[in-house]
A and B are shown apart, each in its own frame.
Chain A
């Protein structure tokens, strides 16, 4: 197992289109996090799962964002009707409970 994997690494989309990102966590990790990060800011929490259960979703997140982790393994993050303000780096991390979390390489989204 080589760590957390995210796909795609880069995505350019037109405003109004839907996009979906995938995250494959470290295999024995039961927690999976999604964060968004813009230049000069710390990672902003979006949502997290413990196994297949989505435990929390940021109140700042609009209904255009949805995430799933159907079998407690990989996760997808979908953004519907993208806006220019959605342009950011989307980061996935996984951990075993409250222990160390490891990040994937991120997906950089550009909405034009």
Chain B
């Protein structure tokens, strides 16, 4: 069974600080990795994709991928109250289906 694992949290971070979210996955052959943000009652919204080892930055968001260690992380700099949401890690194993973790609930404290 190919799995994606996340710490369910909740994770509380002061406003303006860096929030760090982590995800591990079970298959070394995976090629595609994504982070989604989901507000309560809404559908997931794609915020980052990453396909190769290293860092990818987009505004306040940085995704980090380490295929050897089978983890992918998301850093949110200068956290804002609007960043409070559940963050979902998702992986495409090989060329198979998109599989999600259970999500990490993030709360930014003003």
Contacts and interface: CB of A to CB of B under 8 A. Distances in A.
Chain A: interface size category: 20 to 34
Chain A interface, DSSP helix/strand/loop, else mixed: strand
B32 A98 contact: yes
A100 interface: yes
Contacts of B102: 41-42
Interface in B51-68: none
Chain B: interface size category: 20 to 34
Contacts of A43: 44, 88, 100
B49 interface: yes
A98 B31 contact: yes
A97 B103 contact: no
Give the one of A43, A45, A89, A106 with max B CB within 10 A: A43
B88 A56 contact: no
A106 B46 contact: no
A101 B96 CA distance: 13
B95 interface: yes
Contacts of A48: 97-98
Contact of A99 (B32, B36, B42, B44): B32
A100 B100 contact: no
A91 B103 CA distance: 16
A98 B49 CA distance: 11
B69 interface: no
Interface of A: 33, 35, 41-43, 45, 48, 55-56, 89, 91, 93, 95, 97-106
The 4 A-B residue pairs with the shortest CB-CB distance in the complex, in nearest-first order: A42-B102, A98-B92, A103-B43, A42-B100
